[in-house]
Chains A and B, each alone.
Chain A
Amino acid sequence: MTSDIAAILAIDGIATGAVYALVAIGTVLIFTVTRVIFIPFGDIAAFTALTLAALDAKRFPGTGALVVVLACLATLIEIISLIRNGELRLLPRALFFYLAVPLAVVGIAWLTMRIDPPLAVRLVLALMLITPIAPLLDRIVFRPIADGTVLLLLTVSVALHFALVGLGLLFFGPEGVRTEPLTSLSTELAGVLISGQTMLIVIAALVFSGLLYLFFDFTLVGKSLRATAVNRTGSRLMGIRPARAGTIAYLLGSLMAGVSGILIAPVNTVFYDSGFLIGLKAFVGAIVGGMTSYPGAAIGAVGVGILESFASFQSSALKDVIVFSLLIPVLIWRSLASLHSEEEIEE
């Protein structure tokens, strides 16, 4: 391997890693606030790419129907739980958030479609359509078992991933898509050609991590999320509702996953089931950060991207074997590094 090839592989790896980093940060965000290891974020990223491709092809994406179905389900469940708890006065609020807002989003997207919008608007539409999915799934799937063990939540999350893959095949079909590049610029750095798309990916990853940092450190909502992550009961006593914090975390997380989906679509062909490996590799990155640290997760995800890039140069068939085998030493290191007292497994 010459240094040229190494440089190209490294740049390629950083770009892939930056995409994983966005998903990884979302994963950490959800885990710290809700204790859910949300495997389906990869699917959200893939769905965004597929949604964008459908919009590009002037078809209304299946994501719209998915949002409508989920909104109806979530509203139904919310109404039932309100009736059970005798809190019907909260009904208008529930209808607004769980039914009106998602339906309005789908409606706006549907109307805007007719006027053949430019790329920038299509990007916004794709993100708008994708962000309600995870919060609605949270209401339907995770809220009823919010007190369960991490393992129960993980198992449910994995099952949810399979459901989403099935829905993805239904809504988007088996064909892969590759969207047009967002920029055709390219530049040369130390003799290596870097495409504008690669730079865009890295810049977007940096900008969004930076924004997230500002959000957590300088806004009240961000601080309330951090408080929930540290201690649910304590933050509840301070007037923070963990459920609301969870919804915000899911919104932010899906936004990041959506951005990563948009960024990866021009580089790699995305299929309805591409999300699993994106999600898992982001997750590996998140584990490197101990599931708690955002910079750690981002660095870990970039590391996974670089590793994958070099591994696929050595043996493209075995690249996934290499990536996941190397997770085990990382886990051992993390487990030794984390000084948590042992917990009894609940009966």
Chain B
Amino acid sequence: MTRLHVQLAAVAALACLALAPLVLSPFSVTLMNYIGIYSLVAIGLALLTGVGGIVSFGQAAFVGIAAYATAWVSALNGHSPWLGLLFGVALTCGVAAILGVVTLRLQGHFLSLSTVAWGLAIGFLFGNVEGLGHFNGISSIPPISLGSLALVSSAQIYYLIWGIVALVLLLGYNLLDSRLGRAMRALRGGNTLVESLGINAFRIKLVTFVIAAFLASLSGWLYAHMSRFISPGPFDASMGIEYLMMTMVGGAGSLLGGVVGAAIVTLLKNSVQDYLPLIAKGASGQLEIVAFSALFILFLQWARQGIVPSIARYLPKTRRERPQPAPPLPRRPQPAPGELLLKVDGAERRFGGLVAVNNVSFEVRSGEILAVIGPNGAGKSTMFNCLTGALRVNKGEIVFAGRLITRDPQSRIAKAGVARTFQHVKLRPRMNLLENVMLGTYSRTRTGLFAGAFRLNQREEASARHEALLQLERVGLGDKPFELAGSLPLGNQRILEIARALAADPALLVLDEPAAGLRRQEKLRLAELLRSLRADHLTILIVEHDMEFVMSLVDRIVVLDFGSKLCEGVPSAIRSDERVQEAYLGGVA
């Protein structure tokens, strides 16, 4: 499948949508309108939940805020619905931003539970705030007018609704394929990964959250002016859960899945209403929700992935072209060989009563490979986490390239030129090799939300893509840039992480146990790669306990034992040091 095929399919889908009101009955057109309106919320949720990993049960509240805002402006105060749109969007995004700032630092299911909390609280507000019609709602909301044309009939507003849905899909897919979109897709890999790439994870979460709320507000505006009447019912907690159902049925990771899910859930509900009376006379109203919930539970039991990803697996893969040469991305000034690059001075880190790192000092000079080694529990990993900002030292100083980084957060240390890899590989398995490496270029590029969604910065994107390909070729993975990262063997995944780190143009490369779990051949390849990087004047710090791997590779070694520095020197000196032998073997052999 080429890009042309995708475009043809999109044009065909648009044509079908455009012709639909001409052939469908008015009732079906109304149904289609509802599908479109729900789709907008579901697309936002697909972005928030499927892509960003933030499960929200509260989107209905955002829909409600916008719907009530526009009803207040237009029906109660007599202004134009377009003013209502502005007010509704601004209010919804404002509320979302405040809620996001407060809650998005919560972890795991605490975050989802907070969405239940504010979703319920806002939902109860609609029926209880003075001046919003209480449980009777607000009626006689005016229709949207385009110039002198009022969109009264369902066929008229149909084009507005589906026009917005199509535009949102286009911009959404553009965004996901841009710098910010890749950062969003990395969110599911955990904060440590995202921050290590120089990305401010909290900001990306906040942006994603507000985008989802924005789409919900569009939906609320359309809903209010289509049904011309609102009451608290359609914005309560159960609707919030229904939106989540739509997203999960369609396939949480896929924007198109939002539309498909909204269509399936809406049509299913409708047909349950149609057919249930035939099976159970009299009790149909009550059984509707039962049948619907049961179907949903069955669906989750049998197809957790959702419909779109399940079908997409059987479609032919999109063929993509290798990135063309493009002007290189700007490089950071590299330190002169032999210059002092990293200085750790009296670092100490405690966990309660345990001193994991105790008064450790060492230096790394530009162009060398330094290894930090030690037996299990020596404090290597803690030292590593302090260097990269994942943990803070309790005492002492860490200076990188003449700058004190002791108190800096991970993303700032990463931006300053420290790129890292992980002992337990952290890649995005559902992104291809090229995209994974492009994540590394995040701090060297600057395309923002709008430029990404409207494809305004294609030159920078081409440069980033070409840079990623160059780094893949540099580490020897350049032959299949479009393979999924998850399908690589462990050894190559480690090497892919190195390519991603290199794409950040680091001054210091920090590797956390790079040889752990590798086979002999893979270790040899890795050592060879690291030597070639040293030949390019890259400075490397390795934390490792595989002695054989370290001895033949590095220039100098720092040995830790029980949190303290035991000794420091060239490999041959370390090998013959009695204290090191004792630490590793428990006595002079």
Contacts and interface: CB of A to CB of B under 8 A. Distances in A.
B289 A163 contact: yes
Contacts of A160: 293, 297
Contact of B117 (A162, A165, A331): A331
Contact of B287 (A159, A170, A335): A170
B241 A159 contact: yes
Given A155-B244, A163-B293, A166-B293, A324 B103 contact: no
A170 B286 contact: yes
Contact of B107 (A150, A159, A280, A338): A338
Given A325-B121, A347-B188, A162 B105 contact: no
Contacts of A151: 55, 109, 112
Contacts of A317: 128
A156 B297 contact: yes
A156 B299 CA distance: 10
Given A155-B300, A280-B120, A167 B128 contact: no
Interface stretch (B31-39, B174-182, B189-197): B189-197
Given A321-B124, A342-B192, A344-B190, A166 B289 contact: yes
B105 A335 contact: yes
B203 interface: no
B457 interface: no
A67 interface: no
A152 B297 contact: no
Contact of B189 (A150, A332, A334, A344): A344
Contact of A162 (B238, B248, B426): B238
Contacts of B116: 280
B286 A169 contact: yes
B124 A331 contact: no
Interface in A269-321: 280, 284, 287, 317-318, 320-321
A345 interface: yes
Interface residues of B, number: 52
A79 interface: no
Contact of A318 (B128, B244, B292): B128
Interface string A325-342: 101100110110010101
Contacts of B300: 145, 152, 155-156, 159
B121 A320 contact: yes
Contact of B112 (A141, A154, A325): A154
Chief secondary structure at chain B's binding surface: helix
Contacts of A175: none
Contacts of A342: 107, 190-192
Given A325-B117, A325-B118, A141 B297 contact: yes
A277 to B, nearest CB: 9
Contacts of A321: 121, 124-125, 128
A150 B55 CA distance: 11
Given A170-B286, A324-B121, A331-B114, A343 B102 contact: no
Contacts of B286: 166-167, 169-170
B294 A163 contact: yes
B137 interface: no
A148 interface: yes
Highest count of chain B CB atoms <10 Å: which of A37, A141, A344: A344
A151 B292 CA distance: 20
Interface of A: 37, 141, 144-145, 148, 150-152, 154-156, 158-160, 162-163, 165-167, 169-170, 280, 284, 287, 317-318, 320-321, 324-325, 327-328, 331-332, 334-335, 338, 340, 342-345, 347
8 contacts: A144-B301, A155-B55, A163-B293, A163-B297, A170-B286, A287-B110, A325-B118, A328-B114
Interface of B: 53, 55, 57, 102-103, 105-114, 116-118, 120-121, 124-125, 128, 188-192, 238, 241, 244-245, 248, 283, 285-290, 292-294, 296-297, 300-301, 304, 426, 429-430, 486
